Structure 1
């Protein structure tokens, strides 16, 4: 009888060990960590210090508008039109009449035609390219109004212009002299209204902004 009891006890111990081994296996299986998923490579941030460029233009006949649009495309810039409160008519631009509006304004250094819009986004840009036609060897007086109406401190400034025969002359130098704030001015240049992107970009890159 004692042998039978010992045999039963031995069987129970063996079964108990087998059962413990099976539970341990299950416990280890449950505790195993999930596979690590590698994070996707984050998108590269925008290049630091990339300048924002604005081409601000005044055009009475459409020639300078064409140049401004070409310049904006070449430089990856935004466009802003400088509009006078009172638009210029073809009669206003009659060079042969000393009494026309444009002639009278250009002969008066203190003339400041009013702007139609006083909310140009100057503060949002690092570099501003002023585009204008040459009138009587200078920039139109509306450009004088523009550069005196905003604070250009810390901005890069340059100019492009169109003309029926004159060069850029001292027009940009005069604008630099009256510009409000301490701006970083670079020499401007005369272009054809149909100037290509390569020509404009090559000139601009050479300024060293």
Structure 2
């Protein structure tokens, strides 16, 4: 009987142990799944490795660096273009600065000398300046047969200096000055003397020319030369008011100044 009871107790204990083992197994399995799920979530939300952080954080810096380099390159390119453009002279600057500036100045009471002066200025693309008296000459003033006319009185007085209206701007820029006038009593009108005494012609070349009814340039140019200093005077010439530009320029080009080139 005792053996039977002992056997039953042993069997009961074995069954209980088996049952407890199954229960423990069932209880541990969800834990494993939970750990597995937890591990999965943990991996998905885990902080990136240092290498990943460095890569991600480096991307904005590289972008900024690239943008900075691009900006510097563009700035440099613009600067180079600006400097290059600054080195390129504006149209005509070299010709005006390095070339020979020519002025054609003239006095013309009856517009005869004016036509010749315009031919020279047009042929050389030179500046043109008219010597205009403050008090214009009238027909009575130019009456050579009247000993009391204004022109007669002026020409008989070597110290006479009729006033000029206006002046030449930046006379210093001109290298060569063509000086035209009519012949009055074998001389240049006194107002031309006023003109040559009004400026410093040092280092300039002066080319005189005149118009007249028949007389040549005579001593008019040499007398004007005595009123200046430091200038080079070329031999002058009488021209006709009816001369064409070709005739006038033939004389100008023959002076050896190479101004038409």
Query: Shorter chain as normaliser: what TM range?
Result: 0.7 to 0.9
Q: Is the 8 A contact 2:129 2:168 kept in 1?
A: no
Aligned to 1:194: 242
Paired residues for 1:1-209 under 5 Å:
46=94, 49-179=98-228, 181-209=229-257
Over the aligned positions, Cα root-mean-square deviation in angstroms equals: 2.1
TM-score (norm 1): 0.74
Aligned residues: 168
Q: Is the 8 A contact 2:119 2:249 kept in 1?
A: no
Q: Deviations over 1:143-186 (max 9, x none)?
A: 0000001000111101111111211111111111112x311110
CA distance in 2, matches of 1:120, 1:162: 26
Distance 1:163 1:127, change over 3 A: same
Shift of 1:52: 1.2
Question: Secondary structure at the residue paired with 1:70?
Answer: helix
Question: Secondary structure at the residue paired with 1:178?
Answer: coil
Aligned to 1:32: none
Q: Is the 8 A contact 1:54 1:80 kept in 2?
A: yes
Q: Is the 8 A contact 1:70 1:195 kept in 2?
A: no
CA distance in 2, matches of 1:120, 1:98: 37
Q: Is the 8 A contact 1:133 1:139 kept in 2?
A: yes
CA distance in 1, matches of 2:186, 2:173: 31
Q: Deviations over 1:79-120 (max 9, x none)?
A: 001111111111000010000010011111111111111344
Question: Secondary structure at the residue paired with 2:197?
Answer: helix
Q: Is the 8 A contact 2:181 2:211 kept in 1?
A: yes
CA distance in 2, matches of 1:46, 1:194: 36
Distance 1:120 1:144, change over 3 A: farther
Task: Flag the structure with larger Rg.
Answer: 2
